[in-house]
Structure 1
Amino acid sequence: MSKSVKTFIAVAAMLAVAAPAMADFKFSGEFRVQGNHYTSAHMGEQDARSHNIIQQRFRPKLDYRVNDLISLTYFAEVDTVWGETLATGRDGRVGSDGYNVQTKNLYADIKIPQIDSNFRLGLQGLRDSFSGVVFFDDMAAANLTGKLPMNIDYQLFYSKWDTNAYAGRDRVGLRTEYKDTDFYGVDVSHRYGDFAKAGVAVYYLDNKSMFDVDNVPAGGEGLNLDAEMWWAGLYGDYRFANLAFQGFALYQFGEVLDNAPTNTYVDSEAWAASAKASMILPNGDIGLRYIWFSADDSETDADRFYLSQGNYEFTDENLMIFLVDKWVNNEGKNRRAITDAVEAGYGLHALVASGNFRNLPMNTYVNLGAGAFFVSDKNPDGGDFGPVNRTLGYEIAARIGKVFADKFDVSLRGAYAFLDDFYDDADEDRFNNNNDANDVYSVALMARIPF
């Protein structure tokens, strides 16, 4: 047994003994192992490359009720790649005995009954009200949620994403200058009985990293770019009988650092919107979603969506390549519609169909997805590749699974993406070649035990 598992069992045992009653202590989480074979065809490459990996993830969660108003939560994560050594220590290789326990969440919940609210303080998971296009991640935050008269719900939060991490680009003199990255949010919604909800949310990012558009570290422009950015949007959902409708419209505006030596900033402006119609069936549901991001039509400004903290947009559409695979661990994560089109300045039009079916013969279940993806503008002034074909491509995906012994969930999922002429044009313009884009696919066999 690895030191990681032994350590966690010991901590769980100590907490259980310390608790005055077992009713105050709750242990939950999940364990999953998945083998993934997938191909990737990056721009400028002649052929698609094959990748094989077996990963496992253990997420134990400990909840302790201190009293009727206060509770504590610790949520850990142990990721292991079979046969590989990670920087944190010996991991999935023979004789594995690594130090790889990560803290995913660690927070306190304090109920405030006088104002019908809850205050959550510490490392926690937060998601925006716009399908994750702004943020969907774990972060250190102070988060106040509650209810007001007239069926109004609210959320106020503050999160610190970085403390002077990029000062001088060599991490010298950390926390000695005010170059932090702070994030703020306000979200207010109104419930109309049990059938409708409408809300408005505003987010503000203050990133003083001093990285400009031509010099950002690995990990993505949006995460590290020096910027002062706002997002303001409307969202809502409506349910009638077995029909459901949901959608949002979101506006991004602010400024980003264009040239650090001259301290020159440029404006940034972009739009995003999405709408989905669903039908509830006796054994599942089917849905159709439309997605739109505006293109960058400015040669001088940065008019494109820069931020998606966490990179988990539209995770419920059952796709694996053009949109994010809901079940991916760390390797094999694709979101090509966002990285290749939206973040490259071409914007996006997408139409995605999904279906989820339970209690099928032999007690199986099926999740289906299919999507068509196009750029908003095939030749925007701010596009990275020059003129391109409007069609990125198409994707079909499916997952079939069965649960054994009430908890042992075994599933096989796969997706195939037909890459269209957008990739051929981008290759020819950016890399001066005539490579034809190879279609790509992903297949994963997963065993999962929630508890």
Structure 2
Amino acid sequence: MKKKLIVVSAAAALSAAVPASALENDFHGSYKLKYFLSNTEKGATEQIKPSATSATAANYFEQRARLFYTAKANDDLKLVTGFEIDSVFGDKAQGGIDTGSNINTTAFRNSGGGLESDAVNLETKWVYLDFNIPSTPVNVRAGIQAYKDPFKGIFLDADLAGVYASARYGNAQTAIGYFRPYEAMDLTTGKAKTPRGTDNFDIAVLEGKYNINKDLTVGGAYFLYSDYRTNAPETFHTFGVNAEAKVGPAIISGFAAYQAGFSKQNTNGLTASKGTTVNAWAANVAAKVKAGPGTARTAFLYASGDQDKNDGVDHSWQSVSQTKYGLNTTTLTAPAGGGAVTSTTAAGTTTPNGGNPTNSYNESGMMLLNRNLAQGGTSTDTNIISNINNNGQGAVIITAGYDATLTPKVYASANVGAGLTSENQNTYNNGSHYLGTEVNVEVGYKLYDNLTAGFQAAYLFLGPYYKNAVSGQDPVDPYTTRVMLSYIF
């Protein structure tokens, strides 16, 4: 009798611990290891600024693990989370590095590659609720999530906190979103300077898309960029159209977008004392077609630049970047007679292009010429055109490539691309818009269905834009080679 009572009690306890509806748990992720041999990459996010006639090649190992967990209550409700662990072999561990305020730090990102590891290095990537509103076609994502604009990422491509609602009505799709990248923060304490919600950096979005038929889709989008973290607020509007069409064997896509607004602060080194009017645009067209064992691609991107920084009108395409704590007015200077461009930042104001980039252009297939997240995958993020704004000069990127599946286990890719500035500001006096031409290749072999070994190589032939930029001499051309292991689970 006692044994029966024990069994019944245990069953009752287990029943109480399990929710009425079963929860479906999904774990997946990825791991990427890269070995770099490069004269320009250092394991950081930065713009390539050619400033030497020779450069010693750096070699290092870099790894990134991404872990994703989804708690699914049913087909209409789930919690999505994502985490990231980055490190470089031999970097730092056990509580800090021997510089300044970090000496006693026990938790820091991009660490743990030192001897014995022992580092707290788990970054939040996503935490959001994904649910469908009952009896409606509306889906909502609320929380820290990934977002990429319909203009192929040249305005915004990032993880950020907000609420995004989308709906489908037959052949039509609509979406509305609100994101808050930053609040006004004190530079010293990192705490809010004013009551939360009063001085923010906010982004609002409206999107629409319509499938005219199985071969043609058209869309449009509007973005409000509103930054009130300082006493020199900035507000501008981005709106445009995009389309994709199947024409015979080819798929053609593109967009056109325009920006207008006003900034009560100086941006991109502009000196207009009464503020700056934003008046910029960008356009793109791309095509791809099946050819032989793979796909041939070509693409063209134009983003406007600004030439006259004294006229009170900023014609350069504005892209979102990291400007935390309400800082980063960036001033660009170059030595008289040419040379490496340097930048300085000052606290108290913000610019949309002042910090690390949160925009991209993956369609190029480039590794060094522009920021292409598809060719990255680890912390190294080093490019000539790191931000589509390109220091206020804008960008022209022309590319062509070919992706081939040679066997079920072997793939290869080759790309060539040229980059130019749309305009040259007064500090850039080398007499040319031509930044350079990149040639790159990638080959890979599937060791298992979800484990791939690969090799990447890229060489960037610098153009006459950098002529005599190093004390009357030409800087060395950037290059990179990378050996990779990529595991998807």
TM-score bucket of the superposed structures, by smaller chain: 0.7 to 0.9
Deviation at 1:404, TM superposition (A): 1.1
Matched, 1:343 2:390: yes
Aligned to 2:32: 32
2: distance between equivalents of 1:174 and 1:272?
36
Alignment CA distance shift 1:447-1:64 (3 Å):
same
Amino acid at match of 1:64: A
* More deviation, 306-315/243-252: 306-315
Aligned to 1:121: 142
Amino acid at match of 1:369: N
Asked if 2 retains the 8 angstrom alpha-carbon contact of 1:306 and 1:343, the reply is: no
2: distance between equivalents of 1:81 and 1:99?
14
Aligned to 1:6: none
Quick one: which of 423, 428, 432 aligns to 2:466?
Answer: 423
Aligned residue for 1:98, secondary structure, equals: coil
Aligned to 1:182: 202
* More deviation, 194-203/81-90: 81-90
Matched, 1:141 2:151: no
2: distance between equivalents of 1:127 and 1:296?
25
Aligned residue for 1:422, secondary structure, equals: helix
Aligned to 1:333: 381
Matched, 1:207 2:227: yes
Aligned to 2:77: 70
Alignment CA distance shift 1:97-1:281 (3 Å):
same
Deviation at 1:45, TM superposition (A): 3.3
Aligned to 2:275: 265
Deviation at 1:356, TM superposition (A): 1.2
Aligned to 2:239: 232
Matched, 1:405 2:452: no
Quick one: which of 303, 310, 329 aligns to 2:315?
Answer: 303
Name stretches of at least 5 consecutive residues in structure 1 with no aligned partner: 1-16, 213-225
Deviation at 1:171, TM superposition (A): 4.3
2: distance between equivalents of 1:386 and 1:80?
39
Matched, 1:369 2:415: yes
Alignment CA distance shift 1:93-1:383 (3 Å):
same
2: distance between equivalents of 1:401 and 1:439?
26
Quick one: which of 97, 100, 104 aligns to 2:121?
Answer: 100
2: distance between equivalents of 1:53 and 1:329?
15
Matched, 1:392 2:435: yes
Asked if 2 retains the 8 angstrom alpha-carbon contact of 1:420 and 1:437, the reply is: no
Alignment CA distance shift 1:65-1:170 (3 Å):
closer
2: distance between equivalents of 1:18 and 1:396?
57
Asked if 2 retains the 8 angstrom alpha-carbon contact of 1:318 and 1:367, the reply is: no
Aligned to 1:442: 480
Deviation at 1:303, TM superposition (A): 2.1
1:203-229 deviation line (CA, Å, top 9, x unaligned) = 0111123387xxxxxxxxxxxxx5212
Alignment CA distance shift 1:66-1:172 (3 Å):
closer
More helix by share: 1
Asked if 1 retains the 8 angstrom alpha-carbon contact of 2:183 and 2:199, the reply is: yes
Aligned residue for 1:42, secondary structure, equals: coil
Amino acid at match of 1:434: G
Asked if 2 retains the 8 angstrom alpha-carbon contact of 1:276 and 1:290, the reply is: yes
Deviation at 1:57, TM superposition (A): 0.9
Asked if 1 retains the 8 angstrom alpha-carbon contact of 2:78 and 2:131, the reply is: yes
Amino acid at match of 2:392: G
Asked if 2 retains the 8 angstrom alpha-carbon contact of 1:132 and 1:308, the reply is: no
Amino acid at match of 1:393: G
Deviation at 1:23, TM superposition (A): 7.6
Name stretches of at least 5 consecutive residues in structure 2 with no aligned partner: 1-16, 41-47, 97-106, 322-356
2: distance between equivalents of 1:448 and 1:346?
36
Asked if 2 retains the 8 angstrom alpha-carbon contact of 1:44 and 1:435, the reply is: no
Aligned residue for 2:153, secondary structure, equals: coil
Aligned residue for 1:324, secondary structure, equals: coil
* More deviation, 103-112/304-313: 304-313
Deviation at 1:308, TM superposition (A): 3.7
1: distance between equivalents of 2:273 and 2:192?
21
Alignment CA distance shift 1:72-1:263 (3 Å):
farther
TM score, norm. by length of structure 2: 0.77
Asked if 2 retains the 8 angstrom alpha-carbon contact of 1:318 and 1:398, the reply is: no
Amino acid at match of 2:29: G
Amino acid at match of 1:252: Q
Deviation at 1:324, TM superposition (A): 2.3
Deviation at 1:98, TM superposition (A): 1.2
Percent sequence identity over matched residues? 19
Amino acid at match of 2:285: A
Q: How many residue pairs are counted as aligned between the two chains?
A: 409
Alignment CA distance shift 1:264-1:33 (3 Å):
same
Moved over 6 A (4+): 17-23
2: distance between equivalents of 1:19 and 1:394?
60
1:263-304 deviation line (CA, Å, top 9, x unaligned) = 942112111111001102464311110111222133333221
Aligned to 2:366: 319
